[in-house]
Amino acid sequence: MRRYSAFAIAREALRFHKGWERAWRSPEPKPRYDVVIVGAGGHGLATAYYLGKNHGITNVAVIEKGWLGGGNTGRNTTIIRSNYLQDPSAAIYEKARSLYETMSQDLNYNVMFSPRGVMMLAQTEHEKRGYLRTAHANALQGVATEFIGPERVKELCPIIETSGPRYPVLGALWQPRGGTARHDAVAWGYARACSDMGMDIIQQCAVTGVRSQDGKVVGVDTTKGPIDCGKLALVVAGHSSALADMAGFRLPIESVSLQAMVSEPIKPCMDVVVMANTVHGYMSQSDKGEMVIGGGTDGFNNYTQRGSFHHIEETVRALVETFPMISRLKMLRQWGGIVDMTGDRSPLLSKTPLGNCFVNCGWGTGGFKAIPGSGWAMAELVARGEPGALAAPFSIDRFREGRFIDESVAAGVAH
Amino acid sequence: MLILTCPYCGVAADETELAPGGEAHLRRAGPAAGEAEFEAYMFHRANPRGVHFERWRHAFGCGKWFHAARCTMTLEVFGTYSAQCTAPPAAIFKAILASRPDWTPTPGQPEPPKPAARARKSAAKPVAKGKAKAKTPTAPAAKPAKADAKGKGDAT
């Protein structure tokens, strides 16, 4: 792999850009791999990357039904934060956030991580108390957050209406090292690094069955023929239930559609990420100037990658109240992604009833921010066969044992 | 916009008028059940890509709970039916199989009536009796409630 650098740009400029090579290979599958990872989204590729980097396992295939990063990795609102309430969540999300800080250098791929700060608005007394509690919890966990008052909110983001009649801004939970990153670049960067380590990324290849022998997985059937494997990692977000069905076990997951939309590009007007969970909308401005807006989930099972229209209206209404200056903004695109929701809104990083088969799913509406931490913990789980400290609390057993990591309210995410 | 016909009041309600209630026909684990059974009842969900049986409440209408059979891939609705039953009535299975001949239930979902002969008999019944049931068994409105009323006495 030729490294990207300022020198490379100068070199290619002098020879009509003929020297750029493909970022990753697209090989045909080999008959057998040590590890097969299903799902070439951020989490799957990060798992592959850290398997190679941290554990020296490079005979790995990443199989993808569609195209690389074409699922939720390419559909999210790119927010990165780690201000969760529960200790296990704070540990894995903060690990992820800290890995984002050095990801561009690590992967030699510019993921445009922008630690511009994330604020979660408190617009009711109840919410304010919740965020004060989270700020205290974060202080104990070593996650840098603070609760700020409405004046500071206005100072950081002047376009917010802080004294609205119905939901005035009472303060905010502020994480200055949270921010955004370019979501496609995260997938592409990992893919390039994985390919460079000799891993095979096989796109347009759907898994049609999971083969097992004596209670252990031995391979998968795909639309490009059977592939044997020593270990199997299922990292397919919204479609986890379907793959678990093939592998012969059930998951505590329901798939729903989450919507997002993006406006026409305008001049820079906000340099922080704002989440307003009471009225339910969140917004940031991309480097192109588009306002990136996240909306709500449907309450019913849905695999259609489009959401209900009334959620768009609700989200836009909430954001116009919060940011009156966007009332005349045109929306360019709207889309949906299929998110995998667990009962406690925390992910699954776990062994499964099928031997040598591991699952990483249930990230629900907040998977993008977790990609490097999730890959790090999942690689450890797959390589050793036992979870490390980061992954251990997120096993499937917690639902049987009543050991929930309840972020459904605590995360301050209203869905 | 998802539109479901309430089997009680017959109103074709769009989803803003309805409250979703999750997967239907879950059987509560009994007092003697082990942890695994209780876990399955509480948390495991079929979450199929395709036919899904689910509960809805006509929240901003008559206020009653009912059931619906819907495709999660296309949002096609196969029919709605009374909440007073523990399995979908035959007419719903018929509507599903008419649209999805290859459909088989995901683990955890109710099974359609098994033998082909019985399925044919029950399908023939309404025609033979020639009452209100004979009309459009696939139509979601009001009929499924009747189909259920004739069916296996699940209501108590």
Considering only the beta carbons, identify the residue of A253, A299, A304 that sits closest to B20. A299
B9 C-beta neighbours (distance < 10 Å), count: 14
Sites in chain B below the pLDDT cut of 70: 115-156
Q: Does A245 touch chain B (CB under 8 A)?
A: yes
Residue ranges per domain, chain A?
A: 116-178+255-341
pLDDT in tens, A301-331: 999 988 888 999 999 999 999 999 999 999 9
The per-residue pLDDT for B115 is 61
The band of A256, judged by pLDDT with boundaries at 50, 70 and 90, is very high
d(CA A379, CA A388): 10
Cα A10–chain centre separation: 34
Percent residues over pLDDT 90 in chain A: 89
The CATH class given to the A116-178+255-341 domain equals alpha beta
The pLDDT of A190-199, averaged and rounded, is 97
The pLDDT of A180-204, averaged and rounded, is 96
Considering only the beta carbons, identify the residue of B43, B52, B70 that sits closest to A252. B43
d(CA A215, CA A356): 9
Inspect the interface and report whether the beta carbons of B1 and A310 lie closer than 8 Å: yes
User: What Å distances lie between residue A360 and A65, A97, A255, CA to CA?
Assistant: 17, 18, 15
d(CA A75, CA A253): 20
pTM of the model: 0.89
Q: Which residues of chain B neighbour A242 with C-beta distances below 8 Å? A: 48-49
Give which of A301, A310, A348 to mutate to test B binding, by max B Cβ within 10 Å. A301
Compute the half-sphere exposure of residue A26: CA atoms within 13 Å on the CB side of its CA: 9
The pLDDT of A60-72, averaged and rounded, is 95
The per-residue pLDDT for A306 is 84
The pLDDT of A369-377, averaged and rounded, is 97
Closest CA to A240 of A380, A355, A347: A347
A26: Cβ contacts below 8 Å, ≥ 6 apart: A201, A202, A203
A107: Cβ contacts below 8 Å, ≥ 6 apart: A49, A189, A190, A192, A193
C-alpha dihedral sign at A28, A33, A37, A38: positive
d(CA A47, CA A194): 10
The per-residue pLDDT for A147 is 97
Q: Which residues of chain B neighbour A298 with C-beta distances below 8 Å? A: 20
Residue ranges per domain, chain B?
A: 3-26+42-99
The pLDDT of A271-277, averaged and rounded, is 94
pLDDT in tens, A234-255: 999 999 999 999 999 999 999 9
The per-residue DSSP string of A231-281 comes to EEEE--GGGHHHHHHHHT---SEEEEEEEEEEEEE-S----SEEEETTTTE
pLDDT at A85 over 80: yes
Q: Which two tokens stand for residue A323?
A: 């940011």
Compute the half-sphere exposure of residue A404: CA atoms within 13 Å on the CB side of its CA: 14
* CA distance, residue A298 to nearest chain B CA (Å): 9
The pLDDT of A332-361, averaged and rounded, is 94
The pLDDT of A175-200, averaged and rounded, is 96
The band of A409, judged by pLDDT with boundaries at 50, 70 and 90, is low
pLDDT at A367 over 90: yes
The per-residue pLDDT for A164 is 87
Q: Which two tokens stand for residue A322?
A: 């919060």
| Nearest residue of chain B to residue A251 (CA atoms) | B44
Place of tokens 């809104």: A345
The CATH class given to the B3-26+42-99 domain equals alpha beta
Q: What is the mean pLDDT of chain A?
A: 94
The secondary structure element, H or E, covering residue A132 is: helix A125-141
d(CA A378, CA A349): 7
The band of A213, judged by pLDDT with boundaries at 50, 70 and 90, is very high
In terms of Cβ atoms closer than 10 Å to its own Cβ (0-12, 13-18, 19+), residue A108 is middle
